[in-house]
Amino acid sequence: MFKPIDLAFLRKASCHSVLATTLLYTGISSAASVKVAFIGDQGVGEHAQSVLSLIASEGTDLLLIQGDLGYGENAAAQWEDNLTNALGADFPVLTVVGNHENYEWPEYQRLTQERIDRASSLSCTGNTGVKASCQFANIDIVQVSPGIHEVEGVKAEDNYAQYIASSLADSTADWRICSWHKNQEKLQTGKKGDATGWDVYDSCLDAGAMVAVAHEHAYSRTYLLSDFRNQTVIHRRSEMTMESGSSFAFVSGLGGREVRPQVKSGDWWAAIYTATQGATHGALFCEFEEKTADCYFKAIDGAVPDQFTLISRLDASTGAESLNAAVPEQANSSSVTDNVASESSAPAANVEVAAVNPLAVEEPATTNDTAAEGVVAEPGPAATDGSDSTTASSPAKLPTAVVDLSTSETGVEGPLAAANTSAETQVTAGLGESDVQESDLETFSYPNPAPPQVDSAESGGAAGTGKPSALLLILMAIWWQRRAGFGRSTEAKQFKAKH
């Protein structure tokens, strides 16, 4: 005796199977993304308030402030009011101590801890803002304060490198962030000297953690590096894989204080945005999903001088090969010219930073061996900050070279292939050593945002993936399920007729 066929169960099971396969194939994850904003060097004035308003308008979930908060005496209350007015009293904010917290650090620390306590999604252990480990969604954040000797009760050296290593040793998070205030000379574009030592950078590199700092009032980001000490570039693409031994560092110090000019350069810089480029205030944003993150720096005038993508391989099996090792460095894919861009004849007051688009750089030749010459504009002089140990000077000339990464190497396979075949950001790279004499300086043009990818509704596929859209596959699954169900129903009727 045959058991009757449960057609309803078969239809439901087959539909669920197809839908699950569709979601997996199209890369749709059940985990919600979180957007993090990175700033530093705020103050409490109009520009600082504008940056906080920008952060609110971008749909940010967490704000990381890499030091120098309110500046001056009795500024903590106004600083907290600015946060509350723009983001709300319960919005999660993490701060690290900067050299200008020499007035009210205990008060800033208390206010920060209260925000941590009110945010159910954020937890921290340790000395908040000085030497602490925090968790937010699928992100582990380590806060340290190397080089901070101006603030009472804070040690400039307190085994910070070892603390980073131990805090991240057992991390299972997909994303890891090291956060502190001060710089090393070669990993900033202004006049700052060595303040933190390289050991803290090495610990972050070993853990595959990105390094977020401020202190210099500018924005700059390195390429993906395998060695911070020697600034060894792995590749010069805008898609970077985060894993042990591969990381990058950025300075996001345009939180509200005066914008400073570029003084130093180097071929390890992927993006530079300073007073020399006509920069204004803004923040770096990264939207973290389970294994990918889209990042961009956005200014309060709408300019987007930098965009890049991250891929996390931090929980990969020990036998897996690195994507970065599989793809050779593309240093020769586009040659760097020694041409020095001419100064713009336009007065400084007429510089429009918001006019950032792919047309800002001349179209390159059809081969990879020719680089385009950047179109630059001379900004006005930057204001000085008498309270800091280094002061801003009038922008000088910097050697300009634009690397065109719009074409790619052939024969590249895997997840990086899509990034190589798509139009890349026009990247400004410094020439030679980081020490640039003022007599040899020329303005840099900062990189333009990469062209937007075609929307999936127009292309019939998931944006940037070349895969059929989820909607199309779901409709196909429903059609197949109904057709198969009709066939099974007919067979069942025939079976009953015979028996």
**Residues 185-203, buried b or exposed e (16+ Cβ, 10 A)?**
ebbbbbbbeebbbbbbbbb
Residue 269's beta-bridge partner residues?
222
Q: State the residue for tokens 């000395």.
A: 127
Q: Any idea which fold 34-333 has? A: Purple Acid Phosphatase; chain A, domain 2 (3.60.21)
- Tell me the C-alpha distance between 478 and 413, whole Å: 33
Q: What is the pLDDT of residues 46-105, one digit of tens each?
A: 999 999 999 999 999 999 999 999 999 999 999 999 999 999 999 999 999 999 999 999
Q: What is the pLDDT of residue 363?
A: 34
- Tell me the C-alpha distance between 111 and 130, whole Å: 14
The sign of the torsion formed by the CA atoms of 348, 352, 358, 359 equals: negative
The DSSP result for 146-199, as a single string, is TT--SSTT--S-SSHHHHHHHHHHT---SEEEEE-S---GGGSSSS----S-SH
- Tell me the C-alpha distance between 80 and 415, whole Å: 43
pTM given for the model? 0.65
- Tell me the C-alpha distance between 499 and 494, whole Å: 9
Q: What is the pLDDT of residue 32?
A: 87
Residue 176's beta-bridge partner residues?
140
Q: What is the pLDDT of residue 315?
A: 75
Q: What is the pLDDT of residue 373?
A: 31
Domain ranges of the chain: 7-25+468-498, 34-333
Strands in 239-242's sheet, in edge-to-edge order, are 93-95, 62-65, 34-39, 282-288, 292-299, 306-312, 239-242
Q: What is the pLDDT of residues 420-474, one digit of tens each?
A: 333 333 333 333 344 444 433 433 444 444 434 434 343 344 333 444 555 666 6
- Tell me the C-alpha distance between 78 and 89, whole Å: 13
Q: What is the pLDDT of residue 107?
A: 98
Q: What is the pLDDT of residue 336?
A: 30
Residues of the chain with pLDDT under 50: 1-2, 5, 9-10, 12-13, 16, 18-30, 316-467, 486, 495
Helix (H, G, I), strand (E, B) or coil at 494: helix
